[in-house]
Amino acid sequence: MISLKKLPNGFEYIDIKNNSAEAKIALNGAHVFHYKRVGEEPVLWLSEKTEFEEGTSIRGGIPICWPWFGINEDKNLPAHGFARNSKFKIIKQDEINKDMSSVTFKLENKEYELSLHVEVGAKLKLELKTTNIDTKPFKITQAFHTYFNVSDILHVEIDGLNNKPYLDALTMKQEKQNGSITFKEEVDRVYQEVDTTIVLKDANRTLHVENFGSSSAVIWNPWIDKCKRMSLAKNDMREDAYKEFVCIESANAFDDFIVLEPNESHTLKAIIY
Ligand code: BG6
């Protein structure tokens, strides 16, 4: 079943339920803020303090960072782009079979067309397609900024990035991954040359993230101090929320940017299971 729901403040989202899974996707940001397979814990972390309000990004789920990832050179522009604060239109909904449903969202203006196709089943599939409909080249960086729900950050191990180079965003130094990633402090890294499945091992389950159309992946956990600062500044998460999530972001970031010539398209795709 796919239904359009509205909160008392007018905030709209799509509610999906089928035999394999359920999901909720806000029109604001085409933001998947809930995904759960039948009989399992939610895959995505969602802050209980987030405000569901048009024009404001939800804290948790899968914010779409687009058409830039991170801070813009122009400090007046919002971090991670404007897509996550923009209202998308629904252009297609499909109950594919008992176990799979899909919805496609669109955001457009004179320069670009951006569509997000979401397939909800035993796997969650996301396809973010950018088309340049302008007469000049269009440069983008982007990410699915996925917040994974974990039992305890201290029990988390991330595999699949061994030997990969990364930019440590805390020191701005280039490093190389040695073994699995574990968390004992703030981690904010942009991995490069990513070409294999990323594996998230938690105490009681293992999740996989497959990426296509991208060769970078961001691994982020704010840890104690930054989480406290963010909690105070934005009031959209508890100050100890860092214990419950890790972000594995499927990205085209920094050197892995995309330049689209007029009429060209690029699709960033992630499969989560
Ligand atoms: C991550 C960045 O992708 O997003 C972090 O690597 C940043 O540096 C985080 O703090 C959250 O950003 P925001 O804008 O959603 O608070």
Q: How far does residue 128's CA lie from ligand 1's centre (Å)?
A: 20
Share of the chain above pLDDT 70, in %: 100
pLDDT tens, residue by residue, 107-156:
999 999 999 999 999 999 999 999 999 999 999 999 999 999 999 999 99
Give 82-98 pLDDT, tens digit per residue: 999 999 999 999 999 99
Question: Of 75-79, 146-150, 245-249, where does mean pLDDT reach its minimum?
Answer: 75-79
Atom number, ligand 1, closest to the C-alpha of residue 78: 14
Helix (H, G, I), strand (E, B) or coil at 234: helix
Q: What is the pLDDT of residues 24-72, one digit of tens each?
A: 999 999 999 999 999 999 999 999 999 999 999 999 999 999 999 999 9
Separation of CA 107 and ligand 1 centre (Å): 23
Name the percent of the chain lying above pLDDT 90.
100
Segment 174-197 mean pLDDT: 98
Task: Supply the residues annotated as catalytic.
Answer: 145, 249
d(CA 70, ligand 1 centre) in Å: 7
User: What pLDDT, on the 0 to 100 scale, is given for residue 13?
Assistant: 98
Per-residue pLDDT at 190: 98
Q: Which amino acid is at 29?
A: G
Give pLDDT, residue 86.
97
Distance CA 273, CA 259 (A): 30
Q: What is the dihedral of CA 234, 239, 242, 243, to 10 degrees?
A: -160
If one counts the domains in the chain, the total is: 1
Take atom 8 of ligand 1 and give the residue whose Cα is closest. 188
Whole-prediction pTM: 0.98
In this prediction, residues 214-222 reach a mean pLDDT of 98
Range of the domain at 144: 2-272
Residue 115's pLDDT is 98
pLDDT tier at 102 (50, 70, 90 boundaries)? very high
What is the distance in A from the centroid of ligand 1 to the CA of 98? 37
pLDDT for 160 equals 98
Closest CA to 116 of 264, 170, 155, 108: 108
* Per-residue model confidence (pLDDT) at position 11: 98
Q: For a ligand 1 pocket test, name from 49, 50, 145 the mutation site with the most ligand atoms within 8 angstroms of its C-beta.
A: 145
> Mean pLDDT over all residues of the chain?
97
Ligand 1 centroid to Cα of residue 75, in Å, is 15
Closest to 146 (Cα-Cα) out of 203, 108, 200: 200
Mutate to test the pocket of ligand 1, among 58, 72, 80, 147 (most ligand atoms within 8 A of CB): 80
pLDDT band at residue 205, thresholds of 50, 70 and 90? very high
Q: Report residues whose beta carbon is within 6 angstroms of any ligand 1 atom.
A: 79-80, 145, 169, 188, 218, 220, 249
Give the nearest ligand 1 atom to 84 CA: 15
Q: For residues 175 and 189, what is the distance between their CA atoms, to the nearest angstrom?
A: 9
Residue 248: pLDDT band with limits 50, 70, 90: very high
What is the pLDDT, as a whole number, of residue 199? 98
Q: Which of 121, 71, 67, 31 is nearest to 268 (CA)?
A: 67
Average pLDDT (179-190) is 98
CATH number, residue 48: 2.70.98.10
Of ligand 1's listed atoms, the one at least distance from the Cα of 188 is: 6
